[in-house]
């Protein structure tokens, strides 16, 4: 396989098209949504996740005040809402829920609203902030999680149900994950 050198400013895209999520923030008076691809599980017990966010984003002070955020996993039907939430700012007073046709869902354990249309939601409380200058890595405990019974039976994604998750490739380009494959089990030779 032939390979060519890449500009390092875009090399992160080789590791990331991660599943795009909408992060919801809020303090009971003000709320916001922003799209984020830099998210990952950190631990199973206790359930811990991490997200990377810019500190100049409208939502960052909301997270600082409450110490909480929601992670909302949307599917391909909502790619325009994902893109819209990622390319507009809350600094203008824009209500992104209304602007992009999303419904506020009441959370169980946190203040920020969740997205009703999400395939899965995680309610998170910040446990640690790693300051990276212009951005911050938020390491958070998951306090509550819910998932679609159709698309996540038993708490794991099932792509046989027509589910297509969205992965950002840059700009208006997205890819979809929507097909399951199975590896053969390793059988050592006797």
Dihedral angle over CA of 167, 173, 178, 183, nearest 10: -70
- 8 in any annotated domain: no
Q: Does 147 fall in a domain?
A: yes
- Give the Cα separation of 127 and 134 in Å (integer): 20
3-class SS of residue 116: coil
Q: What is the pLDDT of residue 157?
A: 87
Asked whether residue 10 is assigned to any structural domain, the reply reads no
Joined together, the tokens standing for residue 90 give 């809350």
**In-domain check, residue 187:** no
User: What is the number of domains present in the chain?
Assistant: 1
Is 183 among the domain residues? no
Q: Is 164 a member of any domain?
A: yes
For the record, the structure tokens of 119 come out as: 């395939």
- In tens, the pLDDT along 123-149 reads 999 999 999 999 999 999 999 999 999
Query: The domain that contains 54 carries what CATH number?
Result: 2.30.110.10
Give CA torsion, residues 132, 135, 137, 138, to 10 deg.
Answer: 130
Looking up tokens 């405990």, which residue turns up?
141
Distance of CA 187 to the CA centre of its chain: 37
Cα–Cα distance list, 89 to 28, 75, 125, 174 (Å)? 19, 22, 23, 20
Q: List the chain residues with pLDDT less than 70.
A: 3, 10-18
Residue 108: domain span: 18-177
Percentage of the chain beyond pLDDT 70 is 95
For 111-121, what is each residue's pLDDT tens digit? 999 999 999 99
With a CB cutoff of 8 Å and minimum separation 6, the contacts of 116 are 102, 103, 104, 105
**162 domain residue, yes or no:** yes
């Amino acid at each position: 396989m032939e390979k060519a050198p890449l500009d390092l400013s875009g090399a992160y895209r080789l590791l990331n098209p991660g599943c795009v999520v909408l992060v919801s923030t809020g303090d009971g008076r003000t709320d916001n949504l922003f799209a984020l691809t830099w998210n990952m599980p950190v631990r199973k017990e206790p359930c811990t996740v991490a997200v990377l966010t810019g500190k100049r984003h409208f939502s960052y002070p909301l997270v600082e005040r409450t110490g909480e955020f929601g992670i909302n996993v949307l599917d391909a039907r909502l790619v325009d809402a994902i893109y819209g939430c990622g390319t507009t700012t809350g600094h203008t007073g824009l209500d992104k829920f209304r602007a992009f046709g999303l419904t506020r869902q009441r959370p169980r354990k946190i203040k920020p609203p969740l997205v009703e249309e999400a395939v899965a939601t995680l309610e998170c409380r910040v446990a640690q902030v790693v300051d990276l200058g212009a951005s911050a890595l938020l390491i958070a405990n998951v306090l509550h999680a819910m998932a679609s019974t159709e698309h996540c039976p038993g708490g794991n994604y099932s792509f046989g149900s027509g589910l297509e998750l969205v992965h950002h490739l840059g700009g208006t380009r997205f890819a979809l994950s929507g097909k399951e494959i199975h590896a053969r089990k390793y059988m050592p030779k006797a």
